[in-house]
Amino acid sequence: MRIVRVTCFRQLQPFVDGPYVLSGGRVDEGFDSLVVRIGTDAGVEGWGEMSPLGTMYDPAFADGAFAAAPLLSSALLGAPVASVARVLDRTLKGHPYAKSAFDMAAWDALGRAAGLPLHDLLGGADGEGTTLYRSIGRSDPDTMAATARKYRDSGYRRLQVKVGGDPQADVEHLRAVVAAVPDAELYCDANGGWQIGDARRFLAATADLSYVLEQPCASLRESVMLRPHAARPMVLDESITSVVDVMDAAQHGIDGVTIKIARVGGVTNARLIRDVAVSVGMAVTVEDTGGADIDTAAMAHLSVSTPAAQRAHTVDFHHWVTVSNGVGMPGTEGGMLRSPQGPGLGIEVTIGALGDPVVDEGGS
């Protein structure tokens, strides 16, 4: 099965809850999403999606993905669908985020051609679904407490509190959230915003609280130096970009990793890195940097096919944004993300929501 056409779209996806604020004054208003459709000589289509979080989260930005899209689209014409990841890597060195939606579209096409849901191609579903968390952006204690209550009341049992700024303020934010939702399971995500000393101050002042610490400092090295001072689970997100990073983290006593599909270049690498993380005994989250229904479907399949005993949680980005790009995602009752049962990603893309193509290579 070979690729005969590649079409790219751009969809702006404002956040339902307004600006999303990370440490260091990093803020974004919504996702700027690249949606890719591949057509094949078997008459089967595949869809993929990628959005970075603004220009400040990962070394990625939407304009970079759109600049690379014509090059990658024409390189894929005539390529076997099963070899897409290799063709993308031979065409463009680096820039994994720019390749992610193309790789995802190939997996969707393979699943549709096989008549199997994507989770069956990735190891099979283990259980019904994956625990969802909601992220509470940095703000003042009252606002963060109110946001925590709102998310808990709408069914999310797990909350990610954004920290990584002034440690004293972060302590007040966390305590306000704990007081508002004492029964919630908490992650404190610094998004790499702390120096080691900041993280130590935060840890010392919150020793009585229960939470998992996520990406306290920017680099793996700093986070590893912090490890002996943190008597609690620690997971890394931004500093995990490869199998080698997972091996380093495991060797240094890091408990879990968060794999972002876009950061690693698509479903192919996310699956590889996930399987290595599982095999070295880590807790694993598979999620992404942004997107709507298409991207959420991919996260759902990768997550549910991760062994349940080592699966941490994931996100329902299609509920984060005011627009949709597909129908067929199962409901999230009980704070769980379930994967569609139809072939491939298992959703029907709403092409009318995507506007005019920004790239269209090949023919039908």
The window from 98-106, 145-153, 171-179, 286-294 that contacts ligand 0XW (CB under 6 A) reads 286-294
Binding at 315: pick from ligand 0XW, Mg ion, none (beta carbon under 5-8 Å per type): ligand 0XW
Q: Is 255 in the site for Mg ion (CB under 5 A)?
A: no
Region of 32-40, 80-88, 175-183, 283-291 interacting with ligand 0XW (CB under 6 A): 283-291
> Is position 150 annotated as part of the catalytic site?
no
Interacting partner of 290 out of Mg ion, ligand 0XW, none (Cβ under 5 to 8 A depending on kind): ligand 0XW
What whole-number distance in Å separates Cα of residue 231 and Cα of residue 206? 11
Cα–Cα nearest to 146, from 113, 178, 121, 180: 180
* Dist. CA 247–CA 257, nearest whole Å: 11
| Shortest distance (Å) from residue 133 CB to ligand 0XW | 8
Give, as ranges, the residues between 90 and 149 that touch ligand 0XW (CB under 6 A): 135
Question: Could you give the residue ranges of the DSSP H alpha helices within 195-313?
Answer: 196-205, 220-226, 243-251, 261-264, 267-279, 293-304
- With 0-12 / 13-18 / 19 or more C-beta atoms within 10 angstroms meaning exposed / middle / buried, residue 259 is buried
The least CB distance from residue 20 to ligand 0XW, in Å, is: 7
Residue 53 binding result from ligand 0XW, Mg ion, none, given CB thresholds of 5 to 8 Å by partner type? ligand 0XW
Among 137, 86, 111, 87, residue whose Cα is nearest residue 272: 86
Residue 243 three-state SS: helix
- The DSSP result for 99-165, as a single string, is HHHHHHHHHHHHHHHHT-BHHHHTT---SS-EEBEEEE-S--HHHHHHHHHHHHHTT--EEEEE--S
Closest to Mg ion by CB, 237 or 361? 237
- Encoded one letter per residue, x for contact with Mg ion by CB under 5 A and - for no contact, window 221-240 reads ----------------x---
Q: Which is nearer to ligand 0XW, 57 or 84 (CB)?
A: 57
In the complex, minimum distance from the CB of residue 300 to ligand 0XW, in angstroms, rounded to a whole number: 14
Catalytic-labelled residue, pool 93, 99, 150, 260: 260
Residue among 53, 136, 278, 292 that touches ligand 0XW (CB under 6 A): 53
| Interacting residues with ligand 0XW between 188 and 247 (CB under 6 A) | 189, 191, 237
Question: Which one of residues 57, 61, 194, 211 is an interface residue with ligand 0XW (CB under 6 A)?
Answer: 57
Nearer to Mg ion (CB atom), residue 108 or residue 237? 237
Residue 128, amino acid: E
Which residue's CB is nearer to Mg ion, number 237 or number 293? 237
Query: How many CA within 13 A on the CB side of residue 53?
Result: 22
As measured in angstroms, the least distance from the Cβ of 188 to ligand 0XW is 11
Neighbours of 4 (CB within 10 A): 18
Cβ pair 277, 302 in contact under 8 A:
no
Window 176-215: contact mask with Mg ion (x via CB under 5 A): -------------x--------------------------
Candidates 168, 148, 133, 170; CA nearest to 23 is 170
Distance, in Å, from the CA atom of 205 to the CA atom of 192, rounded to the nearest integer, reads 19
Cα dihedral 258, 264, 267, 270 in deg (nearest 10)? -40
Catalytic residues: 162, 260
Note the residues at the interface with ligand 0XW (CB under 6 A).
Answer: 53, 57, 135, 160, 189, 191, 237, 287, 289-290, 315
Note the residues at the interface with Mg ion (CB under 5 A).
Answer: 189, 237
